[in-house]
Amino acid sequence: MNKILITIALAASTLTACSGFNQFRLDVQQGNVIDATDVAQIQPGMTPGQVRFLMGTPQLDAAFKSEDRWDYIYYRRPGIGPTERGRVSVYFADGVVAYVDSDVPQPVALEDYPVEPDG
11 within some domain: no
pTM listed for this prediction? 0.63
pLDDT for the residue numbered 96: 92
Q: According to the model, what pLDDT value does residue 45 have?
A: 93
Residues in the chain, pLDDT under 50: 119
Chain centroid to CA 52: 18
Dist CA 61 CA 52 (whole Å): 13
Quote the pLDDT of residue 76: 80
pLDDT at residue number 44: 92
Provide the pLDDT for residue 119. Answer: 47
Half-sphere exposure at residue 75, Cβ-oriented, CA atoms within 13 angstroms: 5
Number of domains, the chain: 1
Domain assignment of residue 87, given as a range: 22-102
The pLDDT value recorded for residue 37 is 85
Q: What is the pLDDT at residue 112?
A: 56
Residue 10 placed within a domain: no
- β-pairing, 84-93 vs 69-77, is antiparallel
